[in-house]
Every structure is written in C-alpha cells, then in structure tokens.
C-alpha cells in the first residue's frame, strides 16, 4: 500500500447480551479477546495507527489494546459519533482510515488491504459487503455499476431493495482527507437521535465524492452479540486457522 493507513476500532459496547460483565470486545474467541484478534491482523496489513473507541468505564479494554491509543465515547450516540470521537487523535491524518467493529475478529489482512486499495483508487467511502444465506434484517447495499449508490436499512427498504442480497457488514474505509468533514455533516434526525455511520454514503455523494463496496466472505465478516454467535465465531476461526 502506498498510502498510510489508520484504523478506528469501535470497542465501547457492553457484553450484557452475552450475560457477562466484560466489555463485549474482550469476550474470547479461542482464548484471545476479540479485539486482540483484530489488532493482530491490522498489524499484519500493516497499519500506521490504531485508535480504539472505548466507554467511560473501558479501562480494561484500554489495557488490552495497549500500547495503542484509545478515546472515550462518553455517551453512546451512534456509530458515526463513535468514529468522530477519534478526531483529535487522527488530526491531520490524510491516509486511509479503516473503521472496524470490535466484535468482528475474523476479517483477514487481505480483505483490509483490498478495501484500502479501493480508497487509493479514488473512492472516499468503501463499504465491506457480503451475501449471507439469510439476508434477514441487514441493511442493503444498492450498487450502480461499480459505485455504491446508497445503504438502505431493512425497515426502510422497498420490496425491490429487500430482494437485493448484497448486505452491509458495517466495516468501512474512508479517505482520511474527507472522513471528519463527512462525519460533521451527518445528522441525527431519526427515532433514536443517533449519528449513523451508514449515512456517510449519502453525505459523501452530496459532497461530490465517490463511494463503492466490495464483497467479503460471510463467515469472515461474522460478528458476535450473543454467546451462541460467539461459539459460531470459534467454529469459523478453527476452520481457517
């Protein structure tokens, strides 16, 4: 990769649905906290900087990701807000910025490199998509030729859009020159009053910027919110390791 790469790991989630007092990103997959799997892979990319977004009581996460930097999301106001918490630590960074959810530990070095290469090709926003066996309630990625036109949440999708099986994993890459300008223009005019990272695509288009999506392996982009999903991640991990 010819440009510098930074990564923002979203790690402020709690482990309540896993019936644990541990922060979710510290739940183990094959004996190693999920967030450490991600960091180990990012180091192989390699990335130049890693910032993990933690909750106000996330000291244990901060220790786990050390010596890399952390920033605190004081209130959980959405994924866009979480990434924006890293603004001061990435001030002036104009390389590629990967945004990774701390509960997706199986994404490979090659996938991170591929999504980063698309930013080098001139796309300001790149989304990692996948085609699950059951699209269920995932957001849909609506493409026009090789560009990403929009992300449509399942609840807002038309029947035609629901028929699309190209889904949003949540993992994204941004051109660092534009990232925080994009985030500054994302609003929270929604039922939850939150700033959604998925709105970055619409915002980038309004700024005259290009967006695209690449397709990843459904097992690789799997995440864990429950103990059952965590057990499934272990099965996937053992399959590829």
pLDDT, residue 1, reads 59
Contact indicator for 196, 185 with CB cutoff of 8 Å: no
pLDDT, residue 20, reads 73
Whole-model pTM: value is 0.95
Contact indicator for 8, 54 with CB cutoff of 8 Å: no
Give pLDDT tens digits for 222-236.
Answer: 998 889 999 999 999
Give pLDDT tens digits for 194-208.
Answer: 999 999 999 999 999
Q: Higher pLDDT residue, 32 or 3? A: 32
Give the sign of the dihedral formed by CA 40, CA 44, CA 49, CA 51: negative
Query: ∠ CA(42), CA(237), CA(53), 5° rounding?
Result: 40
Exposure string (b/e) for 120-152, b if CB count within 10 Å is 16 or more?
beebbbbbbbbeeeebeebbbbbbeeeebebbb
Measure the CA–CA gap between 10 and 78, rounded to whole angstroms. Answer: 11
The angle that helices 34-44 and 109-120 make with each other, rounded to 10 degrees, is: 60
Percent pLDDT > 70 in the chain is 97
Helices marked H in 85-223: 109-120, 159-162, 176-184, 200-206
Beta-carbon count within 10 A of 56 CB: 10
Query: 59 forms bridges with which residues in the sheet?
Result: none
Q: Helix, strand, or coil here: 227?
A: helix
pLDDT, residue 17, reads 64
Spatial neighbors of 144 by CB under 8 A, at least 6 apart, are none
Give pLDDT tens digits for 115-128.
Answer: 999 999 999 999 99
Query: 175 forms bridges with which residues in the sheet?
Result: 96
pLDDT, residue 70, reads 98
Contact indicator for 47, 98 with CB cutoff of 8 Å: yes
pLDDT, residue 200, reads 97
Can you tell me the mean pLDDT for 161-165? 95
pLDDT, residue 22, reads 84
pLDDT, residue 61, reads 96
* Every domain of the chain and the residues it spans: 5-240
Average pLDDT over the chain reads 93
pLDDT, residue 206, reads 97
Q: Higher pLDDT residue, 98 or 134? A: 98
Can you tell me the mean pLDDT for 81-102? 96
Contact indicator for 175, 124 with CB cutoff of 8 Å: yes
Query: How large is the greatest C-alpha to C-alpha distance in the chain, in angstroms?
Result: 48
CATH architecture of 5-240: Alpha-Beta Complex (3.90)
């Amino acid at each position: 990769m010819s440009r510098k790469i930074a990564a923002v790991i979203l790690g402020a989630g709690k482990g309540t649905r896993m019936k644990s007092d541990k922060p979710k990103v510290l739940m183990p997959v094959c004996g190693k906290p999920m967030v450490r799997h991600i960091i180990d892979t990012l180091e192989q990319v390699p990335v130049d900087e890693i910032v993990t977004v933690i909750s106000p009581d996330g000291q244990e996460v901060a220790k786990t990701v050390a010596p890399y930097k952390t920033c605190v999301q004081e209130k959980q106001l959405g994924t866009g807000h979480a990434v924006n918490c890293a603004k001061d630590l990435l001030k002036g960074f104009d390389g590629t910025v990967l945004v990774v959810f701390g509960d997706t530990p199986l994404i490979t070095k090659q996938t991170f490199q591929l999504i980063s290469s698309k930013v080098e090709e001139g796309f300001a926003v790149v989304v990692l998509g996948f085609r699950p066996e059951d699209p269920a309630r995932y957001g849909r990625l609506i493409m026009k030729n090789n560009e990403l036109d929009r992300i449509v949440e399942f609840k807002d999708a038309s029947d035609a859009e629901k028929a699309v099986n190209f889904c949003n994993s949540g993992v994204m890459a941004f051109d660092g020159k534009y990232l925080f300008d994009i985030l500054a223009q994302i609003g929270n005019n929604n039922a939850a009053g939150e700033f959604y990272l998925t709105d970055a695509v619409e915002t980038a288009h309004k700024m005259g910027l290009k967006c695209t999506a690449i397709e990843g392996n459904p097992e690789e982009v799997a995440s864990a919110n429950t103990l059952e999903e965590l057990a499934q991640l272990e099965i996937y991990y053992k399959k590829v390791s």
